[in-house]
Structure 1
C-alpha cells in the first residue's frame, strides 16, 4: 500500500526542439503555463507529500510562478541531461526517504496526465517489488526503418509508448540510476535504468492523451485535450 509519496519533476530542459529561447514549460496553457498545469495536477492529489522540481535555477521565468512558493515544493538545480537531473532530485530526498519508499518521477512537459491514471498506476504497482510506468499501446502500424527504407513491419502488440509518471522504490531507482550513469548506459527514462539491472518493470496502461509537449504545435493539441477532459467532468 502506498500512503504519502514524493514526486520528482524533471524540469531543467531548455526546449531546444521548441525553436524558442524560452523553455516550453513557460508557454501559456489553460490560462497559466505548461509548468503550472503540470504542478497543479500533482499537488492536487492527496497522497502527494511534496514535489521536487529539478530546474535551471538561473532561468528567470521560474520566479514568475507562484506555485514555487507552496511549502510542499522544493527546487533543486538540474544537470546536463535528464538522467542527471533526476539523479539530483533523488539526492535531494535521500535524507528523508527509506530505500523501500516509493518515489514518482514525472516530466514537466506532460500537463495532460489524468489524476485518475496516476492513482491507477499507484494502485497497480503498490505490491510490486520494483515499480512500474504508464504506457500507451501502439495503435498504428509500426515500421523499422533503415537508410530511409522500410526494413520490417513490427508486431505492435509487443510494443508500447512509455510515458510518465513512473513509480519506483526509492533505493532501487537511486542505485540503478547511479550504476547506469557510471557505466555509460543511455538512460532515456527511469525504467531503462532498472531494465539495465535486469529488473522487471510493470507496465500499466495509460492513455494516448498524456502527451509530452516537444514541439510548439503540440500546445494547441494540449489545450484541446485539457478542454475535453474538463468537459468530461461536467
Structure 2
C-alpha cells in the first residue's frame, strides 16, 4: 500500500547576519563540502514526499543568496525576513496569504539545522496527523538542570519533564499566524513557533528526534556537522 503524506508549506528563516557567531559570512552560507549550510538544510527538508511550497526568508542586505540560488535544484520562493526569527516567520506567513488554506500545515525549519533526519520528520508528521494545532521535534535533556538566582543555585528541575525544542515545528496556518500576531501586539517575546502556540492556550504535540539535529552556533560545530552528514551518507 502506497504511503500518503499531507501537503505542507515550508518556511525557512535564513535572514540572520552571522553577528552572534562572530563571522563576516552569515552561518547559513558557510561551506561544508561543495554546498553551504543553507543548501544542506533545504535538501534535507525537500526529501519529504509532499512539500507543496518552499519559502525562504533572506535579509534585505543579503549579498550571498544571488550566488546560491542558481545552485538550488528545488523550486523555492524568496521573501524578506525581519530583525528576529519571529519577524521572519510572520513575514513568511503573510507572504503565503491567499496561497494556502487556514488548516494547511506550515513547517518552519532553522536554516542552520542541516542534519535533520527524514525519519524524524515523518514520525513528527505521524504524531500530529490528527492534532488540532500541530507540534515540533524535540530532544530529551541529558544534563541536570539547575535553577539559579544571582550567584546561588536555588533548585533542580526534573529533566524527565523537560525537552529541548528543535525544528521542524509544524502548525496549522491560521492558528500559527494569529498566535504570532497576538504575541507581537501584546509585546510577548517568542523564540520559536511553539512559544506563540502555547501563549494562545494550546498544547502542541512533540516527537523526540535525534540529537544530531542541532543548530550551528559555534565555528567548531562545522566539523561535527560534516561528520554527521558523512554518517548520514549525504556527504561523500
- TM-score bin, normalised by smaller chain: over 0.9
Point out where structure 1 has 5 or more consecutive residues left out of the alignment. none
1:112-150 Cα deviation digits (max 9, x unpaired): 100111111111101000110000001121112222332
Per the alignment, residue 193 of structure 2 pairs with: 190
Contact map agreement 1:57 1:76 (CA 8 A) in 2: no
TM-score by length of 1: 0.94
Per the alignment, residue 19 of structure 1 pairs with: 22
Q: 1:71 deviation in Å?
A: 6.4
Q: Does 1:203 align with 2:202?
A: no
TM-score by length of 2: 0.93
Per the alignment, residue 55 of structure 1 pairs with: 58
Per the alignment, residue 123 of structure 1 pairs with: 126
Count of residues in correspondence between the two structures: 233
Distance of aligned partners of 1:223 and 1:47 in 2 relative to their CA distance in 1, 3 Å threshold: same
Per the alignment, residue 167 of structure 2 pairs with: 164
Per the alignment, residue 156 of structure 2 pairs with: 153
Per the alignment, residue 111 of structure 2 pairs with: 108
Distance of aligned partners of 1:144 and 1:88 in 2 relative to their CA distance in 1, 3 Å threshold: same
Give the CA RMSD over aligned residues.
1.9
Q: C-alpha distance in 1, partners of 2:149/2:223?
A: 32
Which contiguous aligned blocks of 4+ residues in structure 1 show a shift greater than 4 angstroms? 67-71
Distance of aligned partners of 1:228 and 1:214 in 2 relative to their CA distance in 1, 3 Å threshold: same
Q: Which secondary structure does the structure 1 equivalent of 2:180 belong to?
A: helix
Distance of aligned partners of 1:68 and 1:74 in 2 relative to their CA distance in 1, 3 Å threshold: farther
Picking from 6, 25, 31, the partner of 2:34 is: 31
Q: C-alpha distance in 1, partners of 2:21/2:230?
A: 23
Q: 1:4 deviation in Å?
A: 1.7
Distance of aligned partners of 1:220 and 1:214 in 2 relative to their CA distance in 1, 3 Å threshold: same
1:27-66 Cα deviation digits (max 9, x unpaired): 1123311011001112232211121001114311111113
Per the alignment, residue 89 of structure 1 pairs with: 92
Per the alignment, residue 212 of structure 1 pairs with: 215
Per the alignment, residue 135 of structure 1 pairs with: 138
